[in-house]
Amino acid sequence: MVTRSSLPDSERLLYSQLQRILTRPGLLRGSLIDSRRKCGKPSCRCQTEPRRRHRALYLGLTTRGKTRMIYVPPEWEARVREWLDRYQQVRDVLERLSEACVTRLKRRQE
């Protein structure tokens, strides 16, 4: 069994980076969809001016083969963006760790 201390410095650094990312709460897979809609008021500017349409933010994600859209209130936007960014950071670090493991595996086979 390989211990963490026996790993190359570059891999140990990646594991440390992953641990730092995961100590903060919130991790979300999906993407934000910015939607502009008309409201139901006939006198509202959004009926005649497309640039004045009302903004609605949704989280788009696929779960068990079904695409879902979840409304994101304006006060949650920054938090949701942070969670999405954190998920991407985890994916990037995991991808680099996987590449490092593949490299080590190839070296042992050669």
The pLDDT tens digits for 46-103 are 888 878 888 899 999 999 999 999 999 999 999 999 999 999 999 999 999 999 889 8
Q: pTM for the whole thing?
A: 0.79
Amino acid letter, 28: L
pLDDT of residue 1: 61
pLDDT at position 103: 87
